[in-house]
Chain A
């Protein structure tokens, strides 16, 4: 965006402090616009009243992200990419996760296509309260045959409502695919220096987003993007080529850095989302399929971190998909909000009335560290996450977010009764909260044992101190 202080945005607001947006003042609303948690549409007067129309348009121009947002697909599963304003996540946050599309070749038989599409669409991994999911299907016109491609696109579209990328350099093939994916708003891959005019016409005719492609040639890439923008195509995605190994890969990495830096710096002609093709790992002659898959994940990691907005991948092995989706989540998690788990009582393993009771804070990193330390040692227990506003044990004790009262509240809220649900009326507390021991004995009327300073030492501690004497 072109402005960075609430004061600058405030100038364009009604300045009535009407509160319709839910914020007490227009200035508060302005700061939400700047941190991008609100949109102009969240201000009803600005949108409804005609006298603000000009200001609204100007403000939207100023607030538009540096990198254009492009939407692929339709409905709930539509993939939104781009939209970034910064080069480093800590400067604000990155918007719109890197989208993971997996390939399907049109020369696969129908049953194989259906099976693979289902595998992609169904893959899920539970993480911090949500499922990590895959984002779409890239249909490759490996056959080069329009009819065959259309049939494959149709079959994929019947099997899933995930968004599609239609991949061919042949305009006739792409047209056949577009006909088979009508109203699905697929991403067209790709216009290059040979076919740009025909593919551009298709993008205009079918009103779909389109990739411009120039391998390791940023002048041509920009030329194509500029030409398309001039012809009225707004939804453009850039493919600077993804070379899988050696100096070619280093060049690819450099191209991604350069494109994004130029875009964030204000070169609007190249300020579009970037497509990465870790898929090409499979063209590098790596014989062992595990090694080829690992290399694909390595490439995916590089371009998740450095500015790939959408990726086409091949390996559906869990050892490829799991780390890839976790890294996307890692890089796109908003660093401004501490990640926290719900304050609640959790079971680790299969605890019984004899099992120990621990608590820790709801800072996700703390919680998951403790949980995995316990789980990995096969200890069945009750683990209470105390809501400390997502702050770790040591800092929360020092800052007053973790007190005996807070712990008691947490037990009460989770309906856990130390007198009934366990037969030992004992709580093991983090070593870093040892100073709460006396207070906790009073507030919980339970026996309080001080555990180790580091949850990694819980197993050793347990050997010496459990069952409680």
Chain B
């Protein structure tokens, strides 16, 4: 951008920079010069670095002044203007400094890499496998490259359920067909994986028998060729039976069984995983020590190999305990990197929990003192995005999500930090004058 300067400004500008270099140059008179074409010539950093060169620049200015017809003396007595500028010597030259910072020396233990899904090479029928974990640093840190990007698995339920309006409108026509639902998630919403939740098996819901629920798993496996996670209803009495039966019909596909927890028969789930070639999701509730205990039990009691364990340390929504969920994950990941081998596993987040926050689904604030909450259809997706992104930064690898917009933004954000998104460079230098 062209900027107007007076010659005295030029002398002032140079006066504090390299006094010696300016000796012998005096400029008389005062005119306005348009310095637009001289861009780099008025760069003091450059001047400070180049020392003597600034004298040349000064002479260059002087010559320009001469061309405009103003008297410029070389080697004459010092003019008054630069002398006056020298009287306020708060700043002279830039004091050069080099920035340097060390990598973390104590992040010496890598996170276990876990594969979900078997392709034909491994005796399964998935079109591709998903890999999570393998990190040697906190996510997106410069200390070490992240080997695997974050993955998103989109939820499918085995029955029509109540969903936030903003979510439901994306799935309404497929909600009675888990296969079609799964297809839509993959084809239209770019899901890396599918999670089929067998919630109808809950004795308090439909009490669907395990055997019948397993048919839904087969339906989903046939409808899509991405890896799948299989969830129960959350009923601790019934889930082991449901997941074992589902594991059996999905034999050899290396699904993620969700979940083993301390309040149910985790051994039964671990046994099914080993027998039928699946991974186990080790789920605890916001407690690092419980997580260690369950992982230890899965490994030592149940002989689950390390490369088949993923942890779900619990996701609480933004505003509803995300501080606990975030710090729990960050502590787990840091402890793992520093060598706690009961925690060196990739992590999974039930990011869909964000939709439990009233801000994501309520029409407006129930409190009249609050500012207007604005349209809820825009609040819900960003609530899921921020919840997920926060946990991505804490170390979470796999995201169980619902809203297609949330999936798209979470993927873009995490893949940008991962380094796989190239975009046209944006010149931000003039943001102050940006039109928005």
Contacts and interface: CB of A to CB of B under 8 A. Distances in A.
Interface of A: 88-90, 103, 105, 122-127, 131, 140-142, 144, 167-170, 193-194, 196-197, 200-201, 204, 215, 218-227, 230-232, 241-250, 253-254, 257-259, 261-262, 265, 267, 269-270, 277, 279-280, 282-285, 290, 294-295, 297-298, 301-302, 305-306, 314, 317-320, 322-324, 326-327, 329-331, 333, 335, 339, 364-365, 368-369, 372-373, 375-376, 454, 457, 460
B95 A257 contact: no
Given A269-B97, A318-B372, A302 B393 contact: yes
Contacts of B373: 318, 322
Nearest to B324: A365
B361 A365 contact: no
B16 interface: yes
Interface string B355-394: 0111101100111011111110011011101100110011
B97 A219 contact: yes
Nearest to B321: A365
Q: Name, among A125, A168, A241, A262, the residue most crowded by chain B CB atoms within 10 Å (CB to CB).
A: A125
Given A247-B422, A254-B141, A305-B394, 4 more contacts: A222-B99, A279-B431, A294-B381, A327-B390
Nearest to A242: B428
Interface stretch (B42-50, B176-184, B298-306): B42-50
Q: Which secondary structure dominates where chain B touches chain A?
A: loop
A295 B433 CA distance: 20
Nearest to B90: A231
* Across the A-B interface, the 6 shortest Cβ-Cβ residue pairs: A318-B374, A246-B423, A218-B99, A365-B321, A193-B45, A319-B378
Q: Which secondary structure dominates where chain A touches chain B?
A: helix
Contacts of B418: 250
A346 to B, nearest CB: 12
Nearest to B354: A323
Contacts of B160: none
Interface stretch (B209-217, B274-282, B326-334): B326-334
A157 to B, nearest CB: 19
Contact of B99 (A197, A248, A262, A317): A262
Contacts of A320: 382
Given A194-B42, A282-B436, A330-B322, A223 B327 contact: no
B94 A196 contact: yes
27 contacts: A88-B327, A123-B371, A125-B371, A193-B45, A194-B45, A196-B44, A201-B88, A227-B91, A243-B426, A245-B416, A246-B424, A247-B421, A247-B422, A248-B423, A258-B99, A262-B101, A279-B431, A280-B434, A283-B436, A294-B409, A297-B385, A339-B323, A368-B321, A369-B356, A375-B358, A375-B366, A376-B362
B318 interface: yes
Nearest to B376: A319
A302 B318 CA distance: 14
B424 A302 contact: no
B44 A204 contact: no
B140 A222 contact: no
Contact of B429 (A215, A331, A339): A215
B432 interface: yes
B86 interface: no
B82 to A, nearest CB: 14
B419 interface: yes
B358 A376 contact: yes
B142 interface: yes
A250 B205 CA distance: 46
Contacts of A169: 432
A327 B386 contact: yes
A227 B94 contact: yes
Nearest to B101: A262
B319 interface: yes
Interface residues of B, number: 87
A312 to B, nearest CB: 9
A282 B433 CA distance: 12
Contacts of A298: 385-386, 389, 409, 412-413
Nearest to B16: A197
B142 A258 contact: yes
Given A226-B97, A265-B101, A330 B45 contact: no
B100 interface: yes
Contacts of B95: 223, 226-227, 230
B431 A301 contact: no
A297 B382 contact: yes
A283 B434 contact: yes
Given A140-B433, A197-B44, A253-B140, A301 B99 contact: no
Contacts of A261: 101
B25 interface: no
A2 B162 CA distance: 54
Contacts of A368: 320-321
A102 B312 CA distance: 37
B93 to A, nearest CB: 8
Nearest to B100: A262
A105 B432 CA distance: 8
Q: Name, among B45, B318, B358, the residue most crowded by chain A CB atoms within 10 Å (CB to CB).
A: B45
A57 B368 CA distance: 50
Contacts of A333: 323
Interface in B290-346: 316, 318-324, 326-327, 330-331, 334
A170 B433 CA distance: 12
Contact of A231 (B91, B204, B319, B327): B91
B323 A330 contact: yes
A247 B419 contact: yes
Contacts of B405: 294
